[in-house]
Structure formats: C-alpha cells, structure tokens
Amino acid sequence: MEAKWVKKAKKGDKEALLQLILAKQDDYYRIAMSYMKNKEDALDVLEDMIVRLYENIHTLKNIDSFQGWSKKILINCCHVAYGKRKKTVYVEQEYLEAFADSEQEVSYEHLDAQIDIDRLLASISSPQAEAIRLKYIHDLDLETIA
C-alpha cells in the first residue's frame, strides 16, 4: 500500500505525500523530540522535513526505502536546527512539558531515567550517541542508521 502512495508522491501528488507522513507521524515526532527536547523545536524540524520531502521526493530511487529516507532527512533537519541553537540546557520542565504534550502519564522515574540517558549520550561522541539513540530508542534498523 505504501508503494502506491510513494509512486503518487513522486509524481507530485501532495495528498499522497501527506498520507505517507501521517502514517508515521508518531515515529517522526518521537525522533524530533529526542533531538530537539521541546515541542516547538520538534514541530519546527518536522515542518522543515516536510518541505524537504516535497522538494526532493523525485530523487528517491527505491520506493521501498521511503521510510528510511524520510527519517534520514528528519535527522538532518534536527542536526541543522540543533546546530543553530548553539547550546542545550537540560531543564526538567522541558521534559515534563514534552511528556505532557504527548498525552502520556508523566513518571518521575521515567523522567530521571531520560535525563540520565541524555547526559550519558552527551558524554560520548555525537556519531556514537546518534547511533545509539536511533537503534535503541527509535528501534531503527542498522541499514537506515547507516
């Protein structure tokens, strides 16, 4: 079914592209939140991703790899936006708002664990942290991560 939408999107069908994005919107949002740490920045990078997908869908060679391709574009958008921020401040309130916005029950143990994970990932190189985040937090396959 996805292949049908990808073919239509490659031909310029905006509605087909929208359907593809909506089908995985939760996945995209979780990835954006894991990089940006707040709702507003996450939504901004999602907007950037949608624009880039629309502008570049015609370059997609393998229609079966749309999801991996789109997630790579999202991650690149996160890197660009993150670089513009210049510094990250870990604030407990940001985490509370992020989890409250996702309509999940906020657990302080979960919040503490997330802060600990983020601090540990910040202590290693960016490529290593990114690979760990994508594999173990977002459950992406190694081919997509590569």
Domain ranges of the chain: 2-145
Q: Does residue 40 surpass a pLDDT of 60?
A: yes
Alpha helix stretches (DSSP H) within 11-141:
14-23, 25-36, 39-56, 66-85, 92-101, 108-122, 126-132
Whether the per-residue pLDDT at 22 is higher than 90: the answer is: yes
| Cβ atoms of residues 74 and 46 within 8 Å | yes
Write down the pLDDT at residue 121: 76
Residue-level pLDDT at 119: 77
Q: What is the pLDDT of residue 16?
A: 94
pLDDT surpassing 90 at residue 50: yes
Give the span between the Cα atoms of 70 and 76, in whole angstroms. 10
**Alpha carbon 96 to chain centroid distance?**
19
Helix axes 66-85, 2-10, angle to 10 degrees: 60
The predicted model gives 53-81 an average pLDDT of 92
What is residue 103's predicted lDDT score, i.e. its pLDDT? 47
Q: What percent of the chain has pLDDT over 90?
A: 48
| 85 has a pLDDT exceeding 90 | no
Rounded Cα gap, residues 90 and 101, in angstroms: 18
Average pLDDT over all residues of the chain: 81
Instruction: Say what the pTM is.
Output: 0.64
Segment 106-138, tens digit of pLDDT: 455 665 666 677 777 778 888 888 888 888 777
> How far apart are alpha carbons 61 and 128 in whole angstroms?
28
Element (H, E) at 111: helix 108-122
| DSSP label at residue 124 | S
